[in-house]
Structures are given as structure tokens and as C-alpha cells.
Amino acid sequence: MPERPLPTAEEVRSYIRDRRNWGRWGKDDQVGAINLITPAKRVAAARLVRTGRSVSLSRPFPKEPGPNNSLPAHHYMKTLSRGNGGFAADYYGIFYHGVASTHIDALCHTWDEEAMWNGRDPKKEITFEGATFGSVEHWAEGIITRGVMLDVPRHRGVPSVTQDAPVHGWELDDILTKRGIKLEPGDAVCVYSGRDAWQSANPDTAYGKPYGGLAQSRPGLHVSCLPFLRDHDVSLLAWDMLDHLPIGYDIPWAVHACLFAYGVALLDNALLEPLARACVDEGRDEFMLMIAPLVVMGGTGSPANPLALF
Amino acid sequence: MPERPLPTAEEVRSYIRDRRNWGRWGKDDQVGAINLITPAKRVAAARLVRTGRSVSLSRPFPKEPGPNNSLPAHHYMKTLSRGNGGFAADYYGIFYHGVASTHIDALCHTWDEEAMWNGRDPKKEITFEGATFGSVEHWAEGIITRGVMLDVPRHRGVPSVTQDAPVHGWELDDILTKRGIKLEPGDAVCVYSGRDAWQSANPDTAYGKPYGGLAQSRPGLHVSCLPFLRDHDVSLLAWDMLDHLPIGYDIPWAVHACLFAYGVALLDNALLEPLARACVDEGRDEFMLMIAPLVVMGGTGSPANPLALF
Amino acid sequence: MPERPLPTAEEVRSYIRDRRNWGRWGKDDQVGAINLITPAKRVAAARLVRTGRSVSLSRPFPKEPGPNNSLPAHHYMKTLSRGNGGFAADYYGIFYHGVASTHIDALCHTWDEEAMWNGRDPKKEITFEGATFGSVEHWAEGIITRGVMLDVPRHRGVPSVTQDAPVHGWELDDILTKRGIKLEPGDAVCVYSGRDAWQSANPDTAYGKPYGGLAQSRPGLHVSCLPFLRDHDVSLLAWDMLDHLPIGYDIPWAVHACLFAYGVALLDNALLEPLARACVDEGRDEFMLMIAPLVVMGGTGSPANPLALF
Amino acid sequence: MPERPLPTAEEVRSYIRDRRNWGRWGKDDQVGAINLITPAKRVAAARLVRTGRSVSLSRPFPKEPGPNNSLPAHHYMKTLSRGNGGFAADYYGIFYHGVASTHIDALCHTWDEEAMWNGRDPKKEITFEGATFGSVEHWAEGIITRGVMLDVPRHRGVPSVTQDAPVHGWELDDILTKRGIKLEPGDAVCVYSGRDAWQSANPDTAYGKPYGGLAQSRPGLHVSCLPFLRDHDVSLLAWDMLDHLPIGYDIPWAVHACLFAYGVALLDNALLEPLARACVDEGRDEFMLMIAPLVVMGGTGSPANPLALF
């Protein structure tokens, strides 16, 4: 597959530096590429609904400790009586970034040595009370747009992406061509890599861990997917596998650079196998996608239950 | 307004006992009235989208202590370096029931002396690990349906519902008639009572508190709203004010009884003022409503950011 | 009582600036006045034990919300089966600074516009991972020393200190004189102000709240207690009432300045009424005092159950 | 070493059933063998203090995820300004049972198919709000007694106890004999097994995990240590290695049965290497031991920083 030459270090640098969207929606913009989702775009997304089938893209809230879940979420119960009845209530707690929880990344989540989204300085914007720029409440009205499935295992005829064959940007373009899909500005792309099949085939290998850093290995999307996101004016990338590691270039973030360079949102650890299956069943590659992040002032993202509606 | 006689204790008992939906969708059903939201219903909801205006029904994640927030949510930050860049990540924790957080109640949340939803025994179903019946993951595919605004202050010509004038079920029917709205099975009703206006007018009175129990006073919806929900086969009630207290009848739960008696979902502490305003602006009382609870196995509900799309 | 003139602003400034202990135990010292507790001092403390009566100085872990507890501690339970038996386990969580929890303050806890303990810069030393200077693990071997009771209500013949009559440093010296106590370097002083009696007499007034800031009023110890701590080479101050507020001088911290200026430890919100009573019963003003902070690397203090042994 | 025959199943059963201390201090007693620590016992413990050397028996608060720490403790920081100064404060959260945290077990922590301590029924006593019998606040006055070191690696001349050679009760008696130690009622025994040396020698093997259950293997103390605790009227066992697993008998708890059968307290995951070293240095096997559990109403134990004073 990767007959095409890999980008040079200079080209990769150019993805992040030369093509960035800083200032595109104003120098103080905190919404980023989600600006591409206009009211008209939402109307068009709703027009896609035909059968009414709803599919969740969320993994279960990750309560169980495990190799892929070194900081398990908390779920604690209480019951209380009330008159001659009662009620149950519970506490949810989660450090949701990492590889266990389906969550959205806000624009403030990552940065490189230069800056955060729109050129801001993380030393100033990241405080003990939360982020003061690019935080998740700027997406409070939700992300409602056309979602498009890019099913890599189906394209390749394999169960999953593997360590030796990362997903390159040109392969995503190949899928568009082969499937006859035309991306439009503001679309959300769902890149399915078969993570669960990969995990089943590699039961003793953790996909990743929080704080794992750059030294890890894991299959996923190559940094060459960055220009794909930029060229097509994608608003959000939903993926089950994340950045391929090692990156292979001396940069702190590969595809995750789309947050600070392009203002493109990320939906990490999406559960995409049921969605991929639904696309096959329905004979479609597009659907109405709805993501409703919790309205946390200063939050760096949010756990979420994204919904695809056919 | 309340010229109509209040229901007798026997009538109230009949709302809860005689009209309950136990067994209606099977004796092991854990979905309740959300079953009324069929794929066709979702398609019809999507057909309502015309201008693409999106409105959040969520209050901010309640981090600040205060009279209405005795168990504040947690938001704790971390930053970590990664190569020559870095990232920020955060912990969210919340005991979301109560009066501070916009959240959905699962069917397992409340019970009276007889039973939980579908006749189950809370002593058996509520465990330290979570609820084993009627928990929130049964709504993982989301609640996507037609939402209908019932704007009580607008109907009354006042800023808000007040302690001396609870919202009765017949008033909701009056609003339907006056506005020419026809409810259909599976609709979600949004009963706006002007909670924020009330709070501004009563700055020193807490609206309520977790564990406040039955002895509190607060304005809200009268138990006579129960048959309204049942008669119209409502799937979900979104409200900013909750049950009027004191209830005035010897029962542990007033409108909250719809959870265990009818299988009707509740969206507590919704932020409805912007939605009411949008309805006026758009000249409409209906919209596509989307609620995506977190997929917490055994959870009694979920914080949520419900979205209305016009 | 306060016939003596209050200190001038310049004198107060001098308490904090001129008399500070920076460098006294080395410029990199993170132990502060706890250095005064030598092995010989611990042996002498143990020699005080005669009757074997043990008294806890800890309030209950503050789980209940309330006016003095706006950020309640968490206590969540689990049970798990194990073979044909089982076990119960629980989660404790606490944001322990504030007025609800009995806790020790590490030297890094407070600072003024100049610096933290030993002249360090809080901007550098306080990180998202914890404090890198003056944190609580430097007291991991515990604080075991002679404790001395200074019972202000007993001295005054009143149930408690009140807002109009703060505890001044000279009053503490008067108590020493009257009771015939001679303080020695490294002693811990327990200043009992009758907080619980005060709270009973003022049921509707909160003693304080986290983040309450400088604008609050509350009875307690006047900034003139600072030179008392310094003159007597006190190692730790245990108190039930905290700094009198308003301070009355334009400084961010009154008695709490002993942390960064003198390296003196603070044990906030101690439960001192039972200890005061025990002192009366035993006919003594001194005892062996033991405080064992949790060994939290980078922690700014610790909840604690201090023990007095007679 | 284990030339002596292992106890039969019947003998083990007899340890737990026939020799139990139920009713010994009254049928409603919640203090258990800590009752053996009389005021006179505390005075005698204080009399042991000679050099004033203080040693912590606490591991660091376990914040880092890892094979032995699948539910890491939380440490989250805040800074806040105050006038022209400021302060740092932090949140500590911990699910402290398991193998990572140095903590004390309350009597309510474990049970077998018959009952909890003093014959109570866990179904009744363990609630969502905490335990209503045998909880940790009954030890609020602290555990202050004579501590005695039983250094197994020193006795064996090896770096650590290993999986193939559990510590049997008779070996502990052998150590007493060899070292010329006479145990007295109410003593706390510190059984050092060299856990850290073992971990260093077995870097890829986790010592254990919460919820690991009975199927695990790990070196530690054999169930034959139960009668040792009972014969000598031990009040508390501090240990670095825990029960040897597999137990080898069809019982849910081996040495941990001392909680519900004898009312003997356990101090799990103590850091005993520095204490063992101090004993060698000081030429002593005994010291004053102080444990101050947090006063958590209904708590099943407490994280702790136990202190040994020589």
C-alpha cells in the first residue's frame, strides 16, 4: 500500500506551520473548524436521516482497571430513603483523556513548542481552574453535522489496521474515491481502523496508556493524515485508533496537531465497529452525527456519547 | 387559575397504581416509555429541522459551592510535557442528582414502598456496583425525538412559576389548546417554569438541595401533571423547576413517580430559558431534541448536554 | 483585656519580614521549625506520659454538607464477595484545607507577595503535580513533641473567644505566666478558643468557608500572636479557631504567615474541647503530642488525627 | 524449615471458629483486641523511648499507576490568590484497601460465610453510608502500644520471604525464642517479610491487586499465623507481605480472618524495611508504636502513617 514516499521532515513541519488556520476565524476565535458547521450544514445533516436507525459511538464508561485503563473511572452508589420510598444516586468521576474513554478533545488540549490554538501561550492559558482559551464550553451548542465513514479494514480487506501498516492520508483519499464520497467543508470524518479486532488479536498488548508518551508503539493514523484533514476542511475527526506511534518525526504530536494547528476537533476512542457495520447494513457512508460535550467551563474536553442517525 | 378541584388522595394513588405501565413493553423491559421513540419517530423529529439553529439545554457543570450546590462538582487540572510540546488534561467528578446539574434520571432512580419500574425490588436491584435493572445504559442509543415547549410563564404572563401557584396537569393541557399543539406518543415535553427568573427574584432562597427530603418548599409541578404525562404517552419530561414541594399528599414522589410508574424519563434542571426564547424567535413550539446520556453500566442517570435543533 | 496598644502596621510588617527564619536551618531546608524537635525532645515528650490517657484532637471526617462545609469530603462504599465470604472497602476523598477538616498545613501552603518559605517562588514551586518545595512528606517521620494547652476561655472565664475580643499574643504570654508554664524550643502549643461553644451560641453563622477570602469576619487569633510563636520557638500551633478576620492590616495572612515566615507548622480545625477538659481532669497543661501526616509527595498538608497522650 | 506438618482443614476451621473472641469484650463491642491496649499499656510503651529516633512505616501515597496500583490515588492541586499573596491547596482521594497503600483495616472490613466481628451480619451492617458496626472511628483515640519486630529475612538469612516458603506461625514463635522476646497482651507485632527486596527480585510480577481474589499467587503469611496472634493476645499485626496465596484451604480469608474472628487489627502494606534496619541499628526489637487512623464515621479502615519511636 505505502508505495507513495513518506513526507520529509520539512513537509511535516509545513503541515503544522504553513497550513495552520490561526486567525482564519479571527485571532480570538475559540471555536476553530467547528465554525464550518453552519446552520445550513446542520439542516443538511438532518436531511440525511431516512431510516431512523440510531447508533452510539461510545464505549462503556471505563470503570474496570486494566492494561488499557490505568486510571479507572469512578462509579460510586448511594441509596437514600424518602418517605416510604427511596432513591438511588451515584457519583461519576473520570480523568477522561487517554485511551479508555470515548471523549472529545477541546482545542486547548495539546500544543507544541510554539503555541496552542490561534497562537496562544499554554503557560498563560492553562490554569489550576481550567483553560482560559479554547476550552470545551465553546462547543456548548453541540457538534451536529454530516458524518462520513472511512472504513479502512473494509478498504484493505483485513480485520484491522496493524502496527506495520499505518493509515496514511492518501489512503483516506483513496477510500473517498473508491466509495464515491465527496467531502464537504464542516464534515466530520469517522476513520474506522478496527481497534477492537486488533485488540482481540493482540490480547496481551495494551493499545496505550495515559502518560505513555512518545516512546510507545501502537497502530493508527500517520501524520500524513494532517493535510487530508486540512484539504477537506474537516471539522472533526472521530477515530478508534489514534496517532500511529512512534511518530517517526521529531514532533510532539502527529494527527493530534490538528487541534492546535487547524482547530479541528478530535473524538478519541470512538466505538466505530457498530457504526461501520451499520453503514454496510444501510448501504450508506454518511449519516447525521451529533456530539454533545458537557458544558464544563475551562474544560479540556468531555466524555461523550456521540450518536449517528441514519 | 386553579379553579379546578385538586385531585383526592385516592385519585393521586390511582395515577401511580392503576395507570402504571408495568408490563406494557414486557415484564423485563428496562427502556420504558423511550420505547415509544421508534425509528419512524426519529425520522419525523429530523424532518422538523428547518433553520439549523442549535440550542443547549444544559447549565454549566456546577463547580462552584453555593446554596443550590452543596455537593459541588470536581474539576481538577493537570498539564504534562510531551517532547517539546505538552498537553492539558482534567478530571471531572460529579454527584449529579440534586438541583444543580442538568442530568437525566434513569428508570431505576426512584421507587415507592411498592417497587421500582416494572415491579422490581430496589433491595435486590440497587447494588454497590450500580443498578442491575433500569439503569442508564439501556438508553445508550440516545433519546432523539420531537421536543415540544410548554412555556408556563408565557402562558400566565408572569416571569416565573411561584410557590403559591404550582403547575397543574390541566394547565399544561390548556397550553396545548391555546398554542394549538397536538402531542403525539413518544414526544418529549419541555415544561419551562422560569426557574432562573424565580431565583433572581428570590436570591436568598435556595431552590433545593440534595437530600433535602420532603420537608422542603419549592415551586414547581404539581402531582396532577402525572396523568398529563400518561394520557399523552410522553417519553421524557425536561423541566427547569422540579416537583412542587410540599407535595400535599402522603407519597414519597410526585411527578418523579413517572420514572417507576410510567417508565417516563426525566431531564432535571434543564436550562430552558434560552430554549423558550428560541421558540418565540423561531415562531415554533417544536424542534428536534437530542439527549445522549453517558454509557455508564449500572448508572442511575447521567449528566447531559441536551440539544434542541430548529 | 486589650489595654495594650495594638501593633502598628510597621510592627506587623516587622514580625513577618525582620524576624523570619529563612536560612536558619539552611537555605534549602524544607522542615522549618519542626527541626527544633530533636530526638532528645521526643524522648522528653515520652517522659511526660503518666496515666496513659489518650485524647484525639480530630473532628470527624467532614462528610456532611453544611454552612461550614461547602466542599464535603467523599466517603463511598463497595462490598465484594470473596469465596463464601466477602469484604467492604471504601473511597475517601477530601479537599482538606478550609474550616471543616482537622488537618496540618505544610510550609508550602501559604505565601505573601514576597515569597514562600525560605524565599522560594510559588510560581516555580507549585505545580500541577504538587509542591516541589516545603511539601508535607518532609515531615514523614511525624511530629512528636511536648504539647502545651493554652486554654483561652478558661483564662477569661467565658465559654469562648468572640468576634469582639481576639486572642492577642500578650494574652497567651499571660496564660503562660498565670499557669506557671515555661515554653521550650520545639514545643507545640494548642490554643483552645472554644470554637464549638461559639458555634452553638451562633448557630446561624458559618465560622468560615474555603475561598472565603479576606472579607469575612470570624473570631480567632490576632496577628500579634506571630511574635509569640517566634519568641518561644514554637514548632507547631494547633488551634480550633483560626486567624481573626478581618485581619485589620493590609497583609494577606495573619497568623498563617508563620508558615512562610517562621517555618512553623499549623494544625487547623483541631478539636480542642476534649483536650482542654482532659487537661483540667489530669491537672496538667502538658502532654505528649503525636501528629502523623500522610506521606503525600508534593502535598500541601494532610488530614490528620492528632493524639495527645497524658 | 517447614518440617512441622501443616494444619488440617479441621484445625484451620478451629482457629477461626473455636478460638474466636466474640463476646470477650461484650457482645456489642466494636473495639476488639485494641481493648487489650490499656492506659497502663500505653504508659509502658512510652517508657520504651530512649534515643528518640522516629521511623515512619508508611509507603508514599500511591499516586502512580502500575501493576501493584490499579486504582491510583488522586492528588489534584489548586492555587488561589489572597490579597497580594496566595495559597496552594489540594485534593486527596484514595480507595485505600488493596496492596498499594499503607492502611489500617477496621474490624468490619472482612467476613466469612458465618458473620462479621462479634457475630454481626454484613448484610445489615454494611450500608451505602458506611459500616454501622466495627468501623474505624471506634479507634479514634489511636493505637499506641508496644511494637515488636519479627524480622523473617534476618531469621532466615535471606533477602525476603518467597512464594515457596510461607511464614508459618511456628516460625514466628521460633523468632521470639531466638531473639529472646516475650510477647505480652496488647502488643503489636510487625512481621517483616522483605517485600521490597522480593519486588526488586521479581520486577515483572505484581505482588497483588485489588479484587484479585483467591486465585492469585503471592508470598506471605500462612494461615497458621492465626493461632500465633490468638495465643499471644496480639492487638495488631503490621505486615509488608500479606496472606500467602493460594491459601491452600477452602476459606475466604487466611490471616485476614483475625479481623472478624479475633478482633485483631491489621496494618496492611506497612513499609517495614527501614524499621527492620532501625531495630538492627538500635540493637532492639521493641519500640513505641503509634497509629492514628482518620476519624471517618462508618469507615472500613484508614490510610495511615504509623510511627515507631525508639
pLDDT means per 10 residues, chain C with 310 residues, are 84 98 98 98 98 98 94 96 96 97 98 98 97 98 98 98 98 98 98 98 88 85 98 98 97 98 98 98 98 98 98
What is the Cα B209 distance to its own chain's centre? 16
Smallest Cα–Cα separation from B245: which of B255, B237, B258? B255
Place of cell 514532533: A251
- Answer whether D248 touches C (CB < 8 Å): no
Contacts of D179 (CB under 8 A, 6+ apart): D285
- Answer whether D211 touches B (CB < 8 Å): no
CB–CB contact C61 D306 (8 Å): no
Smallest Cα–Cα separation from C137: which of C264, C260, C299? C299
Contacts of D304 (CB under 8 A, 6+ apart): C292, C294, D58, D102, D103, D104, D267, D291, D292, D293, D294
Q: Please provide the average confidence, as pLDDT, over all residues in chain B.
A: 96
Indicate the range of A209-213, B262-266, D229-233, D273-277 predicted with least confidence: A209-213
Confidence band (pLDDT; 50, 70, 90) for B254? very high
**Which pLDDT score is estimated for A211?**
63
D168 with D225: CB under 8 angstroms?
Answer: yes
Instruction: Fill in the amino acid letter for A189.
Output: V
Distances, alpha carbon A69 to alpha carbons A137, A245, D98, in Å: 26, 18, 17
C-alpha cell recorded at residue D44: 509502658
Share of chain A above pLDDT 90, in %: 95
- The alpha carbon of residue B59 is apart from the nearest alpha carbon of chain C, in Å, by 20
Smallest Cα–Cα separation from A265: which of A35, A19, A25? A35
Place of cell 491496649: D37
CB–CB contact A142 B307 (8 Å): yes
**Which pLDDT score is estimated for B127?**
97
- A283, exposed or middle or buried, with CB in 10 Å at 0-12, 13-18, 19+? exposed
**Which pLDDT score is estimated for A3?**
72
E strand or H helix that includes residue D124: helix D122-125
Distances, alpha carbon B142 to alpha carbons B61, B137, B240, B289, in Å: 20, 9, 21, 10
Rounded Cα gap, residues A179 and B195, in angstroms: 51
Contacts of C8 (CB under 8 A, 6+ apart): none
Interface with chain D: mutation pick from C137, C296, C310, highest number of D CBs within 10 Å: C296
Chain D hits for A129, CB-CB cut-off 8 Å, are: 78
C-alpha cell recorded at residue B293: 446520556
Confidence band (pLDDT; 50, 70, 90) for B288? very high
Alpha helical stretches, state H, D133-237: 152-156, 169-179, 195-201, 225-231
Alpha helical stretches, state H, chain B: 9-17, 39-47, 122-125, 152-156, 169-179, 195-201, 225-231, 257-262, 273-282
CB–CB contact A300 B88 (8 Å): yes
What is the Cα D140 distance to its own chain's centre? 17
Phi-psi map region of D220: left, alpha, beta (phi>0 left; psi -120 to 50 alpha): left
- Phi, psi values for residue A124, rounded to 5°: -90, -35
**Which pLDDT score is estimated for B211?**
62
In DSSP terms, C245 is beta-bridged to: C218
C264 with C258: CB under 8 angstroms?
Answer: yes
The DSSP secondary-structure symbol of D221 reads B
Phi-psi map region of A100: left, alpha, beta (phi>0 left; psi -120 to 50 alpha): alpha
C-alpha cell recorded at residue B153: 410563564
In DSSP terms, B307 is beta-bridged to: B56, B290
Distances, alpha carbon A36 to alpha carbons A31, A42, A122, A184, A189, in Å: 9, 10, 25, 10, 14
How, if at all, do strands B265-268 and A54-56 pair? Answer: unpaired
Chains near D, with 3+ CB pairs < 8 A? A, B, C
Rounded mean pLDDT of B176-188?
98
Interface with chain B: mutation pick from A16, A63, A84, A87, highest number of B CBs within 10 Å: A87
Smallest Cα–Cα separation from A270: which of A27, A8, A125, A59? A59
Rounded Cα gap, residues A93 and B170, in angstroms: 41
Alpha helical stretches, state H, A73-167: 122-125, 152-156
pLDDT of residue D214 exceeding 90: no
The percent of chain C in helix, strand and coil, each rounded to the nearest 5, is 25, 25, 50
Give the residue from chain A lying closest to B113, CA to CA: A85
Chains near C, with 3+ CB pairs < 8 A? A, B, D
- Answer whether A91 touches C (CB < 8 Å): yes
B92 with B78: CB under 8 angstroms?
Answer: no
**Which pLDDT score is estimated for B215?**
84
Phi-psi map region of D122: left, alpha, beta (phi>0 left; psi -120 to 50 alpha): alpha
Cis peptide bond prior to C227, omega within 30° of 0: no
Give contacts of B 31-50 with D, CB under 8 A. none
Rounded Cα gap, residues C104 and C143, in angstroms: 10
Give the residue from chain C lying closest to B79, CA to CA: C128
pLDDT of residue A209 exceeding 90: no
**Which pLDDT score is estimated for D117?**
98
Dihedral (CA of C214, C219, C224, C230) sign: negative
What is the Cα A19 distance to its own chain's centre? 20
E strand or H helix that includes residue C81: strand C74-82
Confidence band (pLDDT; 50, 70, 90) for D57? very high
Share of chain B above pLDDT 90, in %: 95
Smallest Cβ–Cβ distance between C71 and the set B72, B128, B129 belongs to: B72
**Which pLDDT score is estimated for B60?**
98
Place of cell 481493648: D35
What is the Cα B222 distance to its own chain's centre? 14
Distant-in-sequence contacts of A8-11, Cβ < 8 A, 24+ apart: A9/A249, A9/A250
**pLDDT tens, residue by residue, A60-100:** 999 999 889 999 999 999 999 999 999 999 999 999 999 99
C-alpha cell recorded at residue A265: 476537533
Distances, alpha carbon A33 to alpha carbons A229, A237, A242, B166, in Å: 10, 11, 19, 45
**pLDDT tens, residue by residue, A149-165:** 999 999 999 999 999 99
- Answer whether D53 touches C (CB < 8 Å): yes
C-alpha cell recorded at residue C112: 505573601
**Which pLDDT score is estimated for A214?**
84
Smallest Cβ–Cβ distance between B71 and the set C65, C78, C79 belongs to: C65
Maximal CA-CA distance, chain A: 72
C-alpha cell recorded at residue B262: 410510567
- Answer whether A209 touches D (CB < 8 Å): yes
Place of cell 437525566: B104
Confidence band (pLDDT; 50, 70, 90) for A112? very high
- Answer whether C204 touches B (CB < 8 Å): no
Q: Where are the beta strands (DSSP E) in chain D?
A: 54-56, 74-82, 85-95, 103-105, 110-111, 126-127, 130-131, 143-151, 188-192, 236-239, 265-268, 286-291, 301-303, 307-309
**Which pLDDT score is estimated for C3?**
73
Give contacts of A 96-135 with B, CB under 8 A. 96-98, 102, 108-113, 122, 126-131
In DSSP terms, D190 is beta-bridged to: D149, D238
- The alpha carbon of residue C77 is apart from the nearest alpha carbon of chain A, in Å, by 7
First to last CA, chain C: 32
The three state secondary structure string of D240-269 is: CCCECECCCCCCCCCCCHHHHHHCCEEEEC
Phi-psi map region of D25: left, alpha, beta (phi>0 left; psi -120 to 50 alpha): alpha
Residue predicted with more confidence, D67 or A53: A53
- B94, exposed or middle or buried, with CB in 10 Å at 0-12, 13-18, 19+? buried
Distances, alpha carbon B286 to alpha carbons A53, B34, B189, in Å: 21, 18, 9
**Which pLDDT score is estimated for D212?**
67
